[in-house]
């Protein structure tokens, strides 16, 4: 993912997640139906990782948190 390649700290956090948590993030991004939504989720990915949030936080409607 380009979003992670551009931020080594976020990539390190992602790489140290359990495989199930990495899969949750990937699924959260991949299940978006529109390209605009995919891009929005990719933009949210790095701040979420740096804040130690998980994909379930995003699914629960945590739009105001990130």
Q: How many angstroms separate the Cα of 63 from the Cα of each of 28, 33, 37, 53?
A: 14, 18, 13, 12
| Cα 18 from Cα 6, distance rounded (Å) | 21
Per-residue pLDDT of the chain (66 residues; tens, 9 = 90+): 788 999 999 999 999 999 999 999 999 999 999 999 999 999 999 999 999 988 888 777 645 444
| Cα 36 from Cα 17, distance rounded (Å) | 26
Where do we find the tokens 């701040």?
47
What does pTM read for this prediction? 0.78
14 with 4: CB under 8 angstroms? yes
Report pLDDT for 61. Answer: 62
How far is Cα of residue 43 from the mean position of the Cα atoms in its chain?
A: 8
């Amino acid at each position: 993912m380009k979003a992670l390649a551009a931020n080594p700290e976020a990539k390190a956090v992602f790489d140290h997640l359990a495989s199930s948590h990495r899969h949750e993030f990937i699924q959260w991004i991949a299940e978006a139906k529109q390209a605009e939504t995919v891009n929005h989720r990719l933009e949210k990915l790095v701040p979420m990782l740096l804040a130690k949030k998980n994909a379930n936080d995003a699914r629960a409607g945590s739009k105001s948190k990130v």
